[in-house]
Amino acid sequence: MSARKISLTVNGQAVEAEVEARVNLADFVRQAIGLTGTHVGCEHGVCGACTIIVDGRPARACLMLAVQADGAEVETVESLGTPEALSELQQAFRDRHALQCGFCTPGMLMTIEALLRVEASPTREQVRDVLSGNLCRCTGYQAIVDAALDAAKARRGTR
């Protein structure tokens, strides 16, 4: 079918690829680029597991076509930190036991990352509001909200 050449940056690295129009951005980053941190749950925009940041804004990767990301700056969960050097947000998730199976975690992290960039001191209510777009079947959410608030505090202290 109609394949297209696209170029974009993913986590700061330039990427060029040929992609079929119907391939969504979540499948593209997982399969074509091999970044499998972005998870795919529902493929219709409801679960939030695929949340990434596109041009500075949080987005459902399953609801964007890869061809639409031509020229865009894409950030995935892999950009946040490494196992040796976790970001404040990842560290807060670990400290607060904000994950169990971890399936929802990449989307949770990217949503909260996007929030903290525009709102350095969110209220508990604001965190709960943005997390309404991410489903977790394990934790019961409270620890995730706690971790987001901890991370906000830690970032205010260091940046």
Partner 1 sequence: MKAPPFAYHDPRSRDDLIGLLAELENAKLLAGGQSLVPMLNFRVVAPDHLIDINRIPDLAGIRLSADDVVLGAMTRQCDLQASADLAASAPIIREALAHVGHFQTRSRGTIGGSCCHLDPAAELPALCALFDAEFDVAGPNGARVVKVGDWFKGYLESALEEREYLQSIRLRRWPAGHGYGFSEYARRRGDFAIAGAGALLEFAKDARIRRAAIVVFGVEPAPVRLAEAEQMLVGQTFSETLLAEAAAQASALDAMADVHVSAAYRRRLAGVVTRRALTEAVRLAREAV
Ligand X SMILES: Cc1cc2nc3c(=O)[nH]c(=O)nc-3n(C[C@@H](O)[C@H](O)[C@H](O)COP(=O)(O)OP(=O)(O)OC[C@H]3O[C@@H](n4cnc5c(N)ncnc54)[C@H](O)[C@@H]3O)c2cc1C
Residues at the contact surface with partner 1, assessed by CB under 8 A:
1-2, 4, 20-22, 24, 27, 43-45, 48, 51, 54, 57-60, 62-65, 67-68, 111, 114-115, 128-130, 132-134
Residue 104, binding choice from ligand X, partner 1, ligand FES, none, Cβ under 5 to 8 Å by partner class: ligand FES
CA distance 77 to 63: 17
**Does 29 interact with ligand FES (rule: CB under 6 A)?**
no
Work out which of 13, 31, 94, 102 binds ligand FES, going by CB under 6 A: 102
Q: Which ranges of the chain does DSSP label H, i.e. alpha helix?
A: 25-27, 88-95, 105-118, 124-131, 142-158
CB closer to partner 1, 88 vs 107 = 107
Work out which of 41, 58, 106, 122 binds ligand FES, going by CB under 6 A: 41
For residue 88, give the nearest of 149, 132, 151 by alpha carbon: 151
CB closer to ligand FES, 147 vs 149 = 147
For residue 148, give the nearest of 102, 106, 116 by alpha carbon: 116
Say what the alpha-carbon torsion angle 44, 48, 50, 52 is, to the nearest 10 degrees: 120
Binding mask 49-88 for ligand FES (x = CB under 6 A): xx---------x-x--------------------------
Work out which of 40, 72, 86, 154 binds ligand FES, going by CB under 6 A: 40
Binding mask 37-56 for ligand X (x = CB under 6 A): --------xx----------
Sheet holding 73-75, edge to edge: 13-20, 3-10, 73-75, 51-54, 57-60
Classify residue 86 by burial, with Cβ atoms within 10 Å: 0-12, 13-18, 19+.
middle
